[in-house]
Structure 1
Amino acid sequence: MKIVKEAISGTLESGDVLVRVAPSENGTRDIVLRSEVIKQFGKQIRLVVADTLDKLSVSAGSIVIEDKGALDCVIRARVQAAALRGCSVEELDWRRLA
């Protein structure tokens, strides 16, 4: 899938994460992570984000993650929602996300 427009998902509330996606100008996938717990969980957050984007076949885009202590399942859900909105997807094969 290709990100064709800017999209957002989530909030900046405690225990949540705000995910912003936008088309990439240079055709690469750039992930920017801001987190209060980056020293402890930064590696795991990046892994969850990259895995979720891989499952959605998103190979290019600018992704900004502003984490406020979200669990992996919340991060995954917010990345999925933002990516699907940014790709203007109407229907999805849910087996890809399993």
Structure 2
Amino acid sequence: MEIKKTAMAGTLESSDIQIMLSQGSNGLEFDLVSDVAKQFGKAIQATITDVLNTYDIHDAKVKVVDKGALDMVVKARAITVVQRALDMADEPDWKVI
């Protein structure tokens, strides 16, 4: 699917994650900022990539600022940002959950 607009989900509060998604042209381009990137960076990226693949998004710029979010929070924020970027927020695709 094609990203219709740049979108953001999440906050910069402790135990949360902020994800910004915008159009890209060279596959998935990640910019991850996290104090725990060395330990959990690949897992964070994999969770977000799984959500993007579910929506058939293969070209996007993904800016991530992690503040210690658990995996379920990462997934929830990723689903939210994708649905906002695809302009589906009013009609969410519940089967992805």
Q: TM-score, length-normalised on structure 2?
A: 0.89
Q: Which residue of 2 aligns with 1:8?
A: 8
Matched residue SS, 2:84: helix
For structure 2, the residue ranges without an aligned partner over 5 or more in a row are none
Matched residue SS, 2:79: helix
Q: Which residue of 2 aligns with 1:39?
A: 38
Root-mean-square deviation (Å): 1.4
Measured against aligned partners, the alpha-carbon deviations of 1:36-78 in whole angstroms (never above 9, x if no partner) come to 1011111111111111111121111111110000001100111
Q: Which residue of 2 aligns with 1:72?
A: 71
Give, in angstroms, the shift of residue 27 of structure 1. 4.9
Could you say if the C-alpha distance between residues 53 and 17 of structure 1 is closer, same or farther in structure 2, counting changes exceeding 3 Å?
same
**Partner amino acid, structure 1, of 2:55:** L
Give, in angstroms, the shift of residue 92 of structure 1. 3.8
Identity %: 35
CA distance in 1, matches of 2:92, 2:7: 17
Q: TM-score, length-normalised on structure 1?
A: 0.88
